[in-house]
Amino acid sequence: MELYSGRINTLVDELAALPGIGSKSAQRLAFHIIGMPKDRVNRLAQTLMDARENVCYCEKCFTLTDEALCPVCANVKRDTSTIMVVENSRDLAAYEKTGKYEGVYHVLHGAISPMLGIGPGDIKLKELITRLDGTVKEIIIATNSSLEGETTAMYIRKLVGDLPVRVTRIASGVPVGGDLEYIDEVTLLRALEGRTEL
């Protein structure tokens, strides 16, 4: 039996399809949106459409941005000789919150996972290697401490080969199976400071 009318059910279903939103949260959000003034609902809808149409990849690091270069890559004070490799833009944001990392990033948009059919060609590995133009001294691999993250880290180490680039991996402190976006800044900072050579 349907609890609500068609349009309410459709709204609840669409909200529940978002990651991290369960059916109860979707219902609360739906009723909140329905109760909002129309101009706020229009602004929310327009903001969603604007973001979807205008957000793209940074030309250098491939994080999400609405400019050609993201704020990190556009900052001339950043140390471009150190590149931290992360799986997604949320991981980049997690490290930026520490306020201690002064290098630049490279966002892979995933990790190698044969079980899910994600191979090296499906993430931004080729683009990472093209950034190694002789000015990069260190690559810090900050992929998640999961089987996929470790596989990706070892693959990057193999890709770099004998190039004169130091390849390091963030240290323990990040729990195995943990996602960087959910880890506090102190733990992330300790992991960064205790990174090891691969």
Assign a CATH topology to domain 57-197: Dna Topoisomerase Vi A Subunit; Chain: A, domain 2 (3.40.1360)
pLDDT of residue 2: 60
Closest CA to 63 of 93, 27, 32, 35: 93
Beta bridge partners, 116, equal none
Q: Are 85 and 141 in contact (CB under 8 A)?
A: yes
Q: Which fold would CATH assign to domain 6-54?
A: Helicase, Ruva Protein; domain 3 (1.10.8)
Q: Are 178 and 191 in contact (CB under 8 A)?
A: no
Per-residue pLDDT of the chain (198 residues; tens, 9 = 90+): 466 678 999 999 999 999 999 999 999 999 999 999 999 999 999 999 999 999 999 999 999 999 999 999 999 999 999 999 999 999 999 999 989 999 999 999 999 998 889 999 999 999 999 999 889 999 999 998 888 988 999 999 999 988 899 999 887 666 767 787 888 786 787 778 777 777
Question: Which residues lie across from 141 on neighbouring strands?
Answer: 85, 169
Domain spans in the chain, listed from the N-terminal domain onward: 6-54, 57-197
